[in-house]
């Protein structure tokens, strides 16, 4: 006989957030279903809905068909994202949640952005992208590229923020052109942090 004890979910959640581990995000819905005594992943959505209601998040401003936000039906307004971030900001796990997010110029999907700017290490944010091909014009269609999280104002104070691009396209079909848009958003986050800490 053998037994394996998994690490605390917080460690797995950190991996999911740092590198956009999409399989892990989808499995998160299945784990919610288990809390409702179900082995059917869709049973996790009512559990999530109940959590969002208790958190004071207007869930009608979001729609989900999976855990990662990659289904074509998935949507979320900037307002609902900021509401969720605000909820986590004021809870007992605020610091843990914030540090689980990619940190500008330090780690995760923001490790290579703004490595020497004043905002390095002071932006904690999750990125997201929905990009597809445009065969007609030999380019990439950018459904959305977003960044949302916290700006360190100093003195233990943090502002929530959201920035995004949607309905855009790249000049050509080179994937690095998408990375250029993501980098621009990271720089916007840096400028926001620098201006918020100056106040």
Which of the four pLDDT bands, split at 50, 70 and 90, describes residue 5? confident
Helix axes 9-19, 22-35, angle to 10 degrees: 150
75 sits in which H/E element: strand 75-76
Model pLDDT for residues 82-122, shown as the tens digit of each residue: 999 999 999 899 999 999 999 999 999 999 999 999 999 99
Which residues contact residue 84 at a Cβ distance below 8 angstroms, ignoring those fewer than 6 apart? 52, 55, 57
CA angle in degrees (0–180, nearest 5) for 171-182-13: 140
Residues contacting residue 164 through CB under 8 Å, at least 6 positions apart: 78, 144, 145, 146, 147, 148, 185
- CB atoms under 10 Å from CB of 46, counted, come to 13
Any idea which of 2-11, 77-86, 89-98 has the lowest mean pLDDT? 2-11
Local structure of 148: helix, strand or coil: strand
Looking at the DSSP bridge assignments, the partners of residue 127 are 147
Element spanning 22, H or E: helix 22-35
In the three-class reduction of DSSP (H, G, I as helix; E, B as strand; rest coil), residue 36 is classed as coil
* pLDDT above 70: residue 199: no
Structure-token pair, residue 95: 């610091």
Look up residue 103 and give its DSSP letter: B
pTM of this prediction? 0.93
Extract the runs of DSSP E, i.e. beta strands, from 123-169. Answer: 123-134, 139-154, 157-169
pLDDT score of 46: 98
pLDDT, tens only, 123-151: 999 999 999 999 999 999 999 999 999 99
Would you state the pLDDT for residue 122?
98
Does the pLDDT value for residue 74 go beyond 70? yes
Which phi and psi (to 5°) does residue 133 adopt?
-85, 155
What are the tokens at 153? 């104002």
- The pLDDT score that the predictor gives to residue 196 is 86
Q: How confident is the model at residue 72 (pLDDT cuts 50, 70, 90)?
A: confident
Can you tell me the mean pLDDT for 4-11?
88
Decide: residue 60, CB within 10 A, 0-12 exposed, 13-18 middle, 19+ buried.
exposed
Which residues fall within 8 angstroms of residue 75, CB to CB, at 6 or more apart? 62, 63
């Amino acid at each position: 006989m053998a037994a394996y004890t998994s690490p605390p979910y917080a460690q797995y959640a950190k991996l999911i957030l740092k590198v956009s581990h999409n399989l892990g995000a989808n499995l998160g819905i299945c784990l919610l279903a288990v809390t409702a005594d179900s082995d059917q992943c869709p049973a996790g959505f009512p559990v999530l809905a109940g959590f969002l209601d208790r958190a004071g998040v207007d869930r009608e401003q979001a729609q989900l068909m999976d855990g990662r936000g990659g289904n074509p039906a998935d949507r979320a307004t900037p307002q609902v994202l900021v509401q969720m971030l605000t909820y986590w900001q004021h809870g007992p796990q605020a610091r843990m949640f914030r540090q689980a997010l990619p940190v500008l110029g330090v780690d995760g999907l923001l490790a290579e952005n703004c490595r020497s700017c004043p905002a390095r290490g002071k932006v904690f944010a999750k990125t997201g992208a929905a990009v597809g091909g445009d065969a007609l014009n030999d380019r990439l269609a950018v459904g959305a590229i977003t960044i949302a999280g916290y700006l360190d104002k100093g003195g233990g104070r943090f502002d929530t923020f959201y920035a995004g691009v949607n309905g855009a396209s790249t000049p050509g079909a080179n994937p690095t052109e998408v990375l250029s848009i993501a980098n621009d958003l990271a720089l916007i986050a840096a400028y926001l942090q620098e201006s918020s800490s100056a106040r």
